[in-house]
Amino acid sequence: MKNIVSLLLILFIGVSSKAQDIDVENIILNKVALDSKPKLIVGIVVDQMRYDYLTRFYNRFGDGGFKRMVNEGYNCRNNHFNYIPTKTGPGHASIFTGTTPKYHGVIGNDWFDKELKRNVNCVEDESVNPLGTASNDGKKSPQWMLSTTFADENRLFTQMRGKTIGISIKHRGAILSAGHSANAAYWLDYDHDGNGNWISSSFYMKDLPQWVKDFNISKITESYFKEWNTLYNIDSYTESGSDLNNYERIFKGKERATFPYDLEKLKRLNGNYKIIAESPFGNSLTTDFALKAIEAEGLGKDDFTDVLTVSYSSTDKVGHDFGPNSVEVEDTYLRLDLELERLFKALDKKVGKGEYTVFLTADHAAPNAPAFLQSHNIPSGLFDLSAMLNDMNSYLQQKYGVANILLSRINNQLYFDYQKLDDHQLDMKSLKKEISKELLKYKLIDKVYLTSEINHFEGPDGHLETLLKNGHNQKRSGDVLFTFNPAVFKDTPWNRKGTDHHSGFSYDTHVPLLFFGKGIVNGETLQRTEIVDIAPTISALLNISFPNAFTGKPLDFVLD
């Protein structure tokens, strides 16, 4: 009996000792797993950045910005958007959710709502209150975005201990990047004679933090009402066309779109704070605010990974005004390179070199100005969408005796008035075919699709029909879709100079994708990657759940 008791005691001690060893091993493994995660993820979106800006201006960049990311990180050289339309709202939503408008629901910056029978903005929300402003620009939230972002998943994984902060001059750039569960999203009140404050909404908090209020009264924003001249001697800007040309918009109060630009003198006629957003100083201001957020919020200071999203919007503003071939765009990117260096140096100091991970991409690219292309015998043009809508309604009225059957033509999509179709017993299928035939008569329209057809198309990645399908949301999209010839976009007074974006052509879809920092290998690839691959790649790096509607793939070759 004693022998049996002794044996059991030895077994118990052995098992207990082994269990303790396992517990210690688990603790060590958990600590290693925790230590292997970056303390901070920084998602940078450069609004309207063509891939070739990275290569065209590369030799002029310093070593601490774009070049640091390329030399120390991973460069996906063949990265594309995989849907239409290529616009800011869908771009930011797709980058951070890992899926396309088909699933996340942000089908444009604005779209026609079939129930409200009006255009809605992708981040509008009348149920929230503005913070830091009395303007409706503060009534914003991510309510229209249907899926989670990787930042949302990180918040859930860490039991809300990991922070998320979104920052951009544009509200949609801040809000859609940060996601639904963010601690905060901040944007600049610059449009419609805004007050120049960094603002938010009651969706995130009851009141602005004191550090934001302090920033707003510091006059840092006002300090950028100064002269914008070229960073270097203008004769050295050989990667651009002539500063004096006929392809660029002219600020009110100036006779020509040429350097220098005195923002203090020009502000009154150009929307006051808006002119800062339309200069490279808007990017400098964004960096100023991001650095303050890192410090004040203690980002990257504990064992729970935080997420900071920074969308540099002024590149888009300058691009729209002056076009890809302008000295203004080149100067803006040379200055942005310095802003990236300033951000990375601060992260090295505040979070720790090798303790954070950054990715950089763009929400879309852009073509050259149509008039510039035409001057070099390259086909391009402008299409009057409003006139086309009037023509189509007149045609249908003559044929069916019903006025204004079509309600909207936004985002190259036509929306029927379903009530009128029911009241007059009109067959939608027949109407769609009628409209399609008429649309194809326009010289600058290339293809027309019925949504009932495009939704069932199966084709390889990158094909036009696949891009249209990925951008189509059954509840929100229109009834007929059409696409233009290459280098054609809508004709408005705004678009007759500078550039625009929306298409599935490579000049709109090909954007940079750079990864850099903890957990990232050094290298590059020409393998096709897509914008929806970013979110699952970051999720894989963090060992967290993928965003709930993701359709991209983790880029395993990027991860260490």
- For residues 294 and 344, the answer to whether their CB atoms sit within 8 Å is no
Cα separations in angstroms, 239 against 52, 64, 219, 532, 542: 11, 21, 35, 31, 39
Structure tokens at 235: 């004769």
Q: Which of 217, 222, 225 is nearest to 132 (CA)?
A: 217
Joined tokens for residue 490: 């809508």
Q: What is the pTM of this model?
A: 0.93
Helices (H), 195-352: 210-216, 263-266, 274-277, 281-296, 314-322, 327-347
Q: What is the three-class DSSP state of 530?
A: strand
Give CA–CA dist 248/391, Å, rounded: 31
434 close to 470: Cβ distance less than 8 angstroms: no
pLDDT (tens digit, 9 = 90+) per residue, 497-538? 999 999 999 999 999 999 999 999 999 999 999 999 999 999
Beta strands in 451-550 (DSSP E): 480-484, 488-490, 513-517, 523-525, 529-530
Do 138 and 201 form a contact (C-beta atoms < 8 A)? yes
* Cα-based distances in Å from 399 to 386, 394, 419: 20, 9, 18
Active site residues: 88
- Within 10 A of 254 (CB to CB), how many other CB atoms are there? 15
Class of domain 381-485 as given by CATH: alpha beta
Distance, CA of 245 to CA of 482 (rounded, Å): 32
Decide: helix, strand or coil at residue 408. strand
Delimit the CATH 3.40.720.10 region(s) of the chain: 36-369+512-558
d(C-alpha 292, C-alpha 301), whole Å: 14
pLDDT digits (tens, 9 = 90+) for 225-249: 999 999 999 999 999 999 999 999 9
Chain centre distance of CA 156: 23
Q: How far apart are CA 68 and CA 265, in angstroms?
A: 37
Q: Whole-angstrom Cα distance, residue 283 to residue 296?
A: 20
Regarding beta strands 110-113 and 118-121, do their DSSP bridges make them parallel or antiparallel, or are they unpaired?
A: antiparallel
DSSP state of 213: H
pLDDT at 35: 56
- In DSSP terms, 525 is beta-bridged to 76
HSE-up (13 A, CA, CB side) for residue 216: 21
> For tokens 């290298």, what's the residue?
523
Nearest to 442 by CA among 400, 388, 389: 388
- The rounded distance, in Å, linking the Cα atoms of 160 and 182 is 9
- 140: DSSP letter: B
pLDDT digit string (tens) for the chain, length 560 residues = 444 444 444 444 444 444 444 443 343 334 434 458 999 999 999 999 999 999 999 999 999 999 999 999 999 999 999 999 999 999 999 999 999 999 999 999 999 999 999 999 999 999 999 999 999 999 999 999 999 999 999 999 999 999 999 999 999 999 999 999 999 999 999 988 899 999 999 999 999 999 999 999 999 999 999 999 999 999 999 999 999 999 999 999 999 999 999 999 999 999 999 999 999 999 999 999 999 999 999 999 999 999 999 999 999 999 999 999 999 999 999 999 999 999 999 999 999 999 999 999 999 999 999 999 999 999 999 999 999 999 999 999 999 999 999 999 999 999 999 999 999 999 999 999 999 999 999 999 999 999 878 877 777 777 889 999 999 999 999 999 999 999 998 988 777 899 999 999 999 999 999 999 999 999 999 999 999 999 999 999 999 999 999 999 999 999 99
How many Å is the maximal CA-CA distance in the chain?
Answer: 107
Read out DSSP for 114-127? TTTTEEEETTB-TT
Residue 359, SS3 per DSSP:
strand
Q: Are 201 and 124 in contact (CB under 8 A)?
A: no
d(CA 211, CA 198): 11
Q: Alpha helix locations (H) across 297-377?
A: 314-322, 327-347, 370-375
- Strand ranges in 345-404 using DSSP code E only, listed in sequence order: 356-361, 381-383
Q: State the first-to-last Cα distance of the chain, in angstroms, to the nearest integer.
A: 58
Pairing assessment for the beta strands 406-408 and 381-383 based on DSSP bridges = unpaired
Is 322 buried (19+), middle (13-18) or exposed (0-12) by CB count in 10 A? buried
Query: Dihedral (C-alpha) 405, 410, 411, 414: value to the nearest 10 degrees?
Result: 0
The CATH superfamily assigned to 36-369+512-558 is Alkaline Phosphatase, subunit A (3.40.720.10)
Q: Answer yes or no: are the C-beta atoms of 103 and 146 closer than 8 Å.
A: yes
Q: Which of 439, 417, 438, 437 is nearest to 428 (CA)?
A: 417
d(C-alpha 489, C-alpha 439), whole Å: 15
At residue 484's C-alpha, the angle toward residues 483 and 490, to 5°, is: 110
Distance CA 413, CA 429 (A): 16
Burial class (CB in 10 A: 0-12, 13-18, 19+), 559: middle
Q: Is the bond preceding 260 in cis, omega lying within 30 degrees of 0?
A: yes
- Residues forming CATH 3.30.1360.150 domain(s) in the chain: 381-485
Query: Which residues lie closer than 8 Å to 377 by C-beta, 6 or more apart?
Result: none
Helix axes 534-542, 150-157, angle to 10 degrees: 20
